[in-house]
Amino acid sequence: MTATATRVLVLNSGSSSLKYQLLDMHDASRLAVGLVERIGEETSRLVHTPLATGGAKRETEGAMADHDAALKAVAAELAADGLGLDSPQLAAIGHRVVHGGLKFTAPTVIDDAVLTEIERLVPVAPLHNPANITGIRTARALRPDLPQVAVFDTAFHTTMPEYAARYAIDVATADAHRIRRYGFHGTSHAYVSRKTAALLGKGPSEVNVIVLHLGNGASASAVAGGRCVDTSMGLTPLEGLVMGTRSGDIDPAVTFHLKRVAGMSEDEVDELLNKKSGLIGLCGDNDMREIRRRIDEGDAQAKLAFDIYIHRLKKYLGAYTAVLGRVDAVAFTAGVGENAAPVREAAIAGLADMGMAVDADRNAVRSDEPRLISPEGSRVAVAVVPTDEELEIAQQTYALVSA
């Protein structure tokens, strides 16, 4: 890395998508952002926004057979803006890796041994780690000399005490198959809990925060003095809150019932709980905007879905209040948490005895900035704190390679 190398390329590789952002850590500015969708299909699409040059968004359609082709297309777009991957200003590539198991508790420079370890975790993250690995291999082939860093979704949660991380099942079976609660969205929970402390004018170690990351996937975490002590997702991102398409918590016996009584296969149950449940299963829509619109029109099914979603949120607020003992702040983040004022209002309604309340005027403000929505003088600060997982990945990556 040269003294002038301050840029970090952040890659988030999904099974058929590749999201990227090029940031300059000199001032944390974004130089370019983009997305490749439908990798492996005839109709792959790359959307590239060159923020540094202020140029217009560019869209390219056409078959991109694999992640290698997609990343090469991205590199060509960046090069067209004078931001090519061969630039000496590029310090590192930061990769989002969903599952780091117990071994990866911090961002890690990727070498062959690290890659092998990430591969070893595929059985516990079959939907996510293979795509992340493909992204890493592709980027390493393109720039073998450049430091590549893995930033793990699970890392922030590795501080959970054993009594929060273990399921109450036979220990030998659990250990043989690495079955435990890992938690996800950790990059977001880390970023948002830190930002929330800053909003209160405190350091992370001084505050206890409940973070509600409510996107299409959703999770809650209890963060005591900057360390995660509990989180709602478990072995996989299926556990916990009601999500866009995932059930969250259910009695595990439901799965036996679906197989024995409803005659469903393992894969069908998996698909039901991960893709056809949650809000979409309850009312046919997983977009909170559409659900609110239907409720405003008097749609009872949408209202019930909303009520189930809110009831689950309240249960986690209560549970994490008990886990933390003292709560200084509740932070709402991600697509729903940042934008859906009715969700925030309903989740906090009735919790005055827990010191939590929402001010209607403050809650109605729309902004990209962290902000308080609780009334002046509330015992617990309720806040909206926009997440920025890419910035957090870039910061963690840059901190590691520039140390």
Rounded least distance, CB 366 to ligand ADP, Å: 8
The answer for 382, left when phi > 0, alpha when psi is -120 to 50, beta otherwise, is: beta
Residue type, 53: T
- Toward ligand ADP, which CB reaches closer, 159 or 245? 245
Q: Are the beta carbons of 103 and 115 closer than 8 angstroms?
A: no
Cβ count near 15 (within 10 Å): 13
Q: Are the beta carbons of 224 and 324 closer than 8 angstroms?
A: yes
Q: Are the beta carbons of 228 and 221 closer than 8 angstroms?
A: yes
Rounded least distance, CB 198 to ligand ADP, Å: 21
- Toward ligand ADP, which CB reaches closer, 81 or 287? 287
Q: Are the beta carbons of 34 and 48 closer than 8 angstroms?
A: yes
- Toward ligand ADP, which CB reaches closer, 218 or 324? 218
Burial call 233-250: b when 16+ CB within 10 Å, e when fewer:
bbbbbbbbbbbbbbbbee
Which residues, including other chains, have CB under 8 Å from residue 58's CB and lie 6 or more apart? 46, 47, 48, 49, 50, 77
Choosing from 81, 112, 145, 153, the catalytic residue is 153
Q: Which residues bind ligand ADP (CB under 6 A)?
A: 215-217, 244, 286-289, 334-336, 339-340
Alpha carbon of residue 171 to chain centroid? 29
Annotate 364-402 with DSSP letters as a single string. Answer: H---SS-EE-SPTT-SSEEEE----HHHHHHHHHHHHH-
Q: Which residue is nearest to ligand ADP (CB)?
A: 335
Rounded least distance, CB 172 to ligand ADP, Å: 35
- Toward ligand ADP, which CB reaches closer, 184 or 398? 184
Alpha carbon of residue 114 to chain centroid? 22
- Toward ligand ADP, which CB reaches closer, 144 or 366? 366
Rounded least distance, CB 338 to ligand ADP, Å: 8
- Toward ligand ADP, which CB reaches closer, 202 or 289? 289
165's tokens: 């991380």
Residue reference for tokens 């217009």:
56
Q: What single-letter DSSP state applies at residue 211?
A: E
- Toward ligand ADP, which CB reaches closer, 183 or 244? 244
Rounded least distance, CB 15 to ligand ADP, Å: 14
Instruction: Assess whether 66 carries a catalytic annotation.
Output: no
Please give the helix or strand (H or E) that residue 186 lies within, else none.
Answer: helix 186-199
45's tokens: 């699409």
Strand segments, DSSP code E, in 135-268 are: 148-152, 208-214, 218-224, 227-231
Rounded least distance, CB 335 to ligand ADP, Å: 2
Rounded least distance, CB 1 to ligand ADP, Å: 31
Count CA atoms closer than 13 A to 295's CA, side-chain side: 15
Catalytic positions: 153
